Amino acid sequence: MTALTLSTAAVPGLRADAIVVGVAKGGKGPVVAPGAEAVDQAYDGKLADVLGTLGASGAEGEVTKLPAPAGFKAPVVVAVGLGALPKKDETFGAESLRRAAGVAARTLAGAKKAAFALPIEDAADAGAIAEGALLGAYSFDAYKEIGKNAKKGKAPLAEVALLGGKPRDAAFKAAVARATAVCEELNRARDLINTPPNDLNPEAFAAVAQAAAEEHGIQVEVLDVEALEEGGYGGILGVGIGSAAGPRLVKLTYTHEAATKHLAYVGKGITYDSGGISLKPAGHNETMKCDMSGAAAVFAAVVAAARLGLEVNVTGWLALAENMPSGSATRPGDVLRMYSGKTVEVLNTDAEGRLVLADALWAASAEQPDAIVDVATLTGAMVLALGSRTYGIMANDDAFRSAVHEAAEEAGEAAWPMPLPDHLKKGMESPTADIANMGERYGGGLVAGLFLREFVGEGITWAHLDIAGPAFNEGGPFGYTPKGGTGTAVRTLVRLAELTAAGDLG
pLDDT on residue 153: 67
pLDDT on residue 148: 53
Of 58, 68, 64, nearest to 32 by C-alpha is 58
Q: How far is Cα 103 from Cα 83, in angstroms, rounded to an integer?
A: 13
Convert the pLDDT of each residue in 237-277 to its tens digit: 999 999 999 999 999 999 999 999 999 999 999 999 999 99
Q: What is the mean pLDDT of residues 405-415?
A: 98
**307 is annotated as an active-site residue:** no
pLDDT on residue 147: 58
Contacts of 413 (CB under 8 A, 6+ apart): 391, 470, 488, 489, 491, 492
The catalytic position among 178, 251, 354, 491 is: 354
Distances, alpha carbon 134 to alpha carbons 51, 127, 313, in Å: 26, 11, 27
Please answer whether residues 197 and 287 qualify as being in contact, where contact means their C-beta atoms are separated by less than 8 angstroms: no
pLDDT on residue 152: 55
Q: Name the band, by pLDDT with cuts 50, 70 and 90, for residue 154.
A: confident
Q: What is the mean pLDDT of residues 416-442?
A: 97
pLDDT on residue 284: 87
Q: How far is Cα 488 from Cα 187, in angstroms, rounded to an integer?
A: 10
Task: Give the DSSP H or E segment for 141.
Answer: none
Mean pLDDT score of the chain: 96
Q: How far is Cα 253 from Cα 316, in angstroms, rounded to an integer?
A: 6
Q: What is the mean pLDDT of residues 310-325?
A: 98
The catalytic position among 173, 280, 337, 389 is: 280
Please answer whether residues 266 and 231 qualify as being in contact, where contact means their C-beta atoms are separated by less than 8 angstroms: no
Contacts of 411 (CB under 8 A, 6+ apart): 491, 492, 494, 495
Contacts of 356 (CB under 8 A, 6+ apart): 235, 236, 239, 240, 247, 268, 269, 270, 319, 320, 321
Predicted confidence (pLDDT) at residue 146 exceeds the cutoff of 90: no
pLDDT on residue 88: 87
**87 is annotated as an active-site residue:** no
Claim: this prediction has a pTM higher than 0.85: yes
Q: Name the band, by pLDDT with cuts 50, 70 and 90, for residue 505.
A: confident
Q: Name the band, by pLDDT with cuts 50, 70 and 90, for residue 351.
A: very high
pLDDT on residue 277: 98
Q: How far is Cα 184 from Cα 186, in angstroms, rounded to an integer?
A: 6
Q: How far is Cα 48 from Cα 51, in angstroms, rounded to an integer?
A: 5
Convert the pLDDT of each residue in 14-44 to its tens digit: 999 999 999 999 999 999 999 999 999 999 9
Q: Name the band, by pLDDT with cuts 50, 70 and 90, for residue 73.
A: very high
Convert the pLDDT of each residue in 123-140 to its tens digit: 999 999 999 999 999 999
Q: What is the mean pLDDT of residues 353-363?
A: 98
Q: What is the mean pLDDT of residues 151-162?
A: 85
Among 98-112, 135-149, 436-450, the range scoring the smallest mean pLDDT is 135-149
Q: How far is Cα 437 from Cα 439, in angstroms, rounded to an integer?
A: 7
Q: Name the band, by pLDDT with cuts 50, 70 and 90, for residue 352.
A: very high
Of 8, 16, 9, 116, nearest to 75 by C-alpha is 16
pLDDT on residue 150: 52
Please answer whether residues 285 and 395 qualify as being in contact, where contact means their C-beta atoms are separated by less than 8 angstroms: no
Q: Sign of dihedral through CA atoms 303, 307, 308, 311?
A: positive
Q: What is the mean pLDDT of residues 58-87?
A: 97
